[in-house]
Amino acid sequence: MTMFRLIPAVLLFAASLSAQAWNFDKFTHELSEKVRFKDEKGYDKILKEYHYHALLHFRAQVRMLIRDETHEQSQAEYGRLTASWQRVFRTDTLEQIERWLRSQDIAQIRTFDNCYGALQKGKNHYFQLYTDKPNERANYEKLVESLLKLAEQFEYIGERTQAAETWGVVAQVYNIMPSRTLQDRKEAVYAIDRYQEHRDRWNYNKDQLYLTNVNWAKEEKRKIEEDEKKQAKRAAEGYDENITGIDSFLVVDADKTEKFYPFTFKPMSKFESKVDFSLMGGPSPMRWPSVTITGKGPIKMSWFRSKEMFLVRPGNNKYGVTFDGAESNLKKNPFQPVAAPNKIKKPSLIYLGDPKAKEDPYAMWFYTGGASEPFQGMSQNYAPTAKRAIVYYKSASSWVADVDGTPVTLFDDNSDGAIFTEDYEEDFGMTQRTLTDDFDEETKVSAIDSMQIGKKAKAVPFSNWVKVNGSWFHMRRSEDGKKFGLRATNPDYFKTGNVKVKWSAGKGTKLEALVVQGRGWFGQARFDISKGVTELPAAEYEVLFGRIVNGKKARMSSADLFAGSTEPFTVKPGETTELAFGAPFKLEYNREGEGRDLKINALTIKVIGTAGEIYRNVNGAPPASEILAAKDDTGKGAKAIGAFIALKDAQMASDLSKGQAIGFEVAYWPVVKGVANGSFVFEEFVPDGTKIGLKGDKNKLFGKLLPVFK
């Protein structure tokens, strides 16, 4: 039941459907509270803020009075609503609604109810599109088609508030349409014009929401006129009049002037010589892709995707790779030997084609853990046995091209054997289960490759939009990845801005990576904004992935950063956008139990940063905390009633992981203090009205972790 509000560039309000329901419940509850305490000013304030809910509430009272004019509760609420509306808005909107309702017969009311129900479904569909952001325009166009029919029905029966609301949804769909065109923008403006027309017919036009939408339409019309002039200028310069998308940012006939550059394979020589951007990467081998091999194998290396590759183990300390997964007799299954030591040294060189011809070389690091492997803040035994071994692997491959004297290097950070992946979420298919509260749903995440432009430059996420030798280009693969092409951008139409990130955390904690990805035509633009000021194409962006670290090697702690509730942000031409991440950090959790029975499952604890980003896979610094009880949600005078502490025992972690959807990842969370065999669930009896919060003071990664009392 959220009213639709247009915001230039970014939709700021798109709440979940549960939040919508909560808002209406809040409206009716708070109205009744103001009535109970005879607070007329408070009643008016709520009606002003939730004016759309007030219309729904008023409609319900009128319908009740049509059935029974003597209904005392509806009579009283009818009087309060009409009086408050006049004090706040001074319009006859409620009279218009009542007049319309009393003029309808049963069949017409039934039609209205059906249309209203269909509108709620349309809103649900909109919110789903807004959340999932599918790239196929057909999904959005189908919704627009159904909404236009619905708007026509509301117009036919003469219900102006819902006709306006429907046109508002139409405008919103056009505003989130993938690869928005000039015509899409015109359709959104037209929808708001119709929205304004219907609102004006019933004088529902004094609220801030109406003014915001109408002013947006005026400004958007002005911008469209400017863009149409630019379009005419393009045509005069030789651009196709129907040019759109990526080509609209490039020079005229960019395909004809595209330059191509061949790759040369080059194995990496040093481990930790660069930052990588894959979720299954980073400096700790225990986070890499892995296979568990029993006997001699072969066992499939599932994350390697360019062709099926299998690991074999011909001896206790001998390993190899083969492309035949059916033959277990290694005398009949030719394999290429690889080294899998407990200390990372030089990578192993293999050939994906004919080894004798040294065809299609590829390099990988392989790693086997030790008997006392530091991971998740404890010492764990990952040493191979005679029957079983866990082998971790990571790409050590790179491909270098010379672009007019500047080396451009591509790295296969996600170890899938491929570069130039277009859509890492869909094509690579990696999921993260710990991003949902109950770990019952797989969330798609990006495991990104990287690139380096210049000999001594830092590694950056792989992007199709690149700056080489001082100029921006659109980069694309050629000849099945053996070459790449660069198409020049036109500075008249391709603009850039800057992003500056402010980072704050515990002492010594660094923001090692923070990857953002563009939207729309810049959906393949990815940049690491973690260091200083970063230049980006002017576009809308969203947070994709990040990593924070503290310490080195055995003493290292780390955590992965995900978007959480962060908002998309816009980089404007020639301007610097400042973003803050990190502290203050909050400890969110799910409060369970009924009445005075308090229950907190540590596995629901989330570390949330100042921008709404969420930190998961907290390695070596779990969110240990005091459990505080207070009389109200300010936390004043709170007292500790228990604590969650870091899990330090590997056997206990193994026992606790059994039956859990996330398996051994439970060791990223703390356990209840004082429970001998370990438990994630804290239970206590507390007085009625007690507010509970979790607080951590000296976390190695985050420093202070502030409580959220609930």
Q: Convert the pLDDT of each residue in 198-244 to its tens digit.
A: 999 999 999 999 999 999 999 999 999 998 998 889 889 999 877 88
- 363 with 350: CB under 8 angstroms? yes
The token pair that represents 243 in the structure block: 């040019």
Q: Does residue 9 surpass a pLDDT of 60?
A: no
Q: What is the pLDDT of residues 85-137, one digit of tens each?
A: 999 999 999 999 999 999 999 999 999 999 999 999 999 999 999 888 888 89
Q: What is the pLDDT of residues 633-670, one digit of tens each?
A: 898 999 999 999 988 888 887 888 887 776 778 888 89
Rounded-to-integer distance, Cα 317 and Cα 340, Å: 8
Q: What is the pLDDT of residue 652?
A: 82
Q: What is the pLDDT of residues 67-79, one digit of tens each?
A: 999 999 999 999 9
From 324, 301, 501, 473, select the one nearest 395 (Cα to Cα).
Answer: 301
Q: Does residue 495 surpass a pLDDT of 80?
A: yes
Give strand ranges (E) for 279-438. 290-294, 299-300, 310-315, 318-322, 336-338, 348-351, 361-368, 373-375, 378-380, 388-395, 397-403, 406-411, 431-432
Q: Three-state SS for 526?
A: strand
Check whether the bond before 334 is cis (ω within 30° of 0): no
In the sheet with 471-478, reading across from the earlier edge strand, the strands are 259-262, 483-488, 471-478, 465-468
Residue that the structure tokens 């005419």 belong to:
232
The token pair that represents 641 in the structure block: 């009633």
Rounded-to-integer distance, Cα 416 and Cα 393, Å: 11
The token pair that represents 419 in the structure block: 């570069």
The alpha carbon of residue 565 and the mean position of all alpha carbons in its chain are separated, in whole angstroms, by 7
Task: Collect contacts of 469-473 with beta carbons under 8 A, ≥24 apart.
Answer: 469/403, 469/404, 469/405, 469/406, 472/496, 472/537
Q: What is the CA radius of gyration of the chain?
A: 30
Strand partners, 625: 644
Task: Collect contacts of 687-690 with beta carbons under 8 A, ≥24 apart.
Answer: 687/596, 688/595, 688/596, 689/631, 690/596, 690/598, 690/629, 690/630, 690/631
Give strand ranges (E) for 566-612. 569-570, 576-582, 585-588, 591-592, 597-601, 606-608
For the packed helices 106-132 and 137-157, what is the interaxial angle rounded to 10 degrees? 160
Kindly indicate the confidence band of residue 164, based on its pLDDT and cuts at 50, 70 and 90.
very high
Q: Please list, in sequence order, all residues whose beta carbon lies within 8 angstroms of the beta carbon of residue 356, skipping any fewer than 6 positions away.
A: none
Kindly indicate the confidence band of residue 273, based on its pLDDT and cuts at 50, 70 and 90.
low
Q: What is the pLDDT of residues 599-632, one digit of tens each?
A: 999 999 999 999 999 999 998 899 999 999 999 9
Q: Does residue 11 surpass a pLDDT of 70?
A: no
